[in-house]
Structure 1
Amino acid sequence: SSSSSSSSGPLFASSQAVATIDALLTKTQIQRLPQASRSQAFSLMISLNEKCTRELVGMGERYAKHFIDAMDGEKDPRCLILCFNIIEFLGAHIGQTLPIGLVEELFDIASCYFPITFTPPKDDPAGITGEDLKTALNNAIKACDRYSKLLVEFVQERAGDGNTQTTADA
């Protein structure tokens, strides 16, 4: 019976995941969208990353490059936490095969948010804390072995800036 196809099935065929991510990143100017729409776009990417990992890993360089462009300038904590999750996915799944310049760009697009000083407004419905953002950022910048050298240089640079709190966070 056709009623056996429950709502737990895929939204669409995994073969469409690449086309969907590609269209989101190349045909949509995500940074020009309102926060709620940006959040939906990044959430869709995360969902597809989880459900169609193999297909999306095949996008490789193209996914990483266009995601960096889409995330550039993001300031909203609700979107940043999603972006850090995507950077973690990209680092963990394709970081070893990317050109070093793209690895550096992925690291830079995440590390530029360090140190995170976010304090949520009182009664914030999103429920995102500074600790949540710090954890997501840490997971993002340690997701790929090739970030290690960049991370060491980054920590040394931050340690030399004289700010004891920044040094402690690093």
Structure 2
Amino acid sequence: MSLVLAGVAAVGCASKYPVTFDSYPQGATLVCNGTNWGYTPKTLYYDEKVKKETSLSLSSCSANWSSGARQYYGTVPIDQFPNGVQQTLQRPDVPGFQQDAEFALKVQQLNIQKQQAQAAQQPTYSQQTVSCKKSFDISGQIYQFSQMFCPPGYYAAF
């Protein structure tokens, strides 16, 4: 049976079947059917039709560490995990573990930096402004205040 991934960008898909691919050490590249989905851990959402099956074969997906080590995922028993599952692969016992562990730390640091950059772009309470007009002022002048509400004596300008 051929199952198609609905996509990584799908968020909050109650009808989709989430599979979180993880690895030890983390930071392995997840490749499914020749498509690079990024670094582990990574959640992919499968079509809801898989919920009708007893199991889902993930053998077309592999964790590929920076050292060249590779491991393939197995089969997920959907009937035991109807709301989604996490699969974690152990890195094979081959040379290069130190390189893969160091790369995992770099990936983790990059993810933290990305989260910090995204948080810095979000307006904080002190960065938000509101446009207000002064009560009983017929000039129509609009005032900007660095808060969420107009102060007393002003009303919101729409």
With structure 2 as the length reference, what TM-score do the two structures score? Answer: 0.26
With structure 1 as the length reference, what TM-score do the two structures score? Answer: 0.25
Instruction: Determine which structure has more spread, i.e. the larger CA radius of gyration.
Output: 2
Specify which structure has the higher proportion of helix. 1
Specify which structure has the higher proportion of strand. 2
